[in-house]
Amino acid sequence: MYFYKECQTYSLASLPLRIGGGIMLRRSDHTPAHLFLDDTLYFITGAIYQKRMLIADSALKDTLLDLIQGYFAKYSWELRHWVILSNH
């Protein structure tokens, strides 16, 4: 928790900071600093507030997956594995 409080002191004006060689440090007032490296795998996760079952419909899950795949293609990212749960 101490690291989180320490990172909160950074200003949003400092986003992002390109360190060089494919390394980028991204800071925010609300989250710890994130280090982004080229050619590195990342685990991305999210959840619906209060774990509500808002995407239980399979057609909605398909639409969400299409959107995710579209953004990954737009930025030339590779989506290797995914799961879409009804409350995530």
Looking at residue 61, its pLDDT comes to: 94
Q: Give the domain range for residue 51.
A: 41-88
Alpha helix (H) residue ranges in 8-80? 58-74
- The CA–CA distances, whole Å, from 81 to 4, 28, 56, 65, 75 equal 29, 27, 20, 11, 17
One domain, residues 14 and 54: no
One domain, residues 29 and 16: yes
Q: Pick out the chain residues at pLDDT < 50.
A: 1-15
Q: Quick one: which H or E segment has residue 19?
A: strand 17-20
**Integer Cα distance of 46 and 29 in angstroms:** 19
This prediction's pTM:
0.59
Looking at the 3D structure of the chain, how many domains does it have? 2
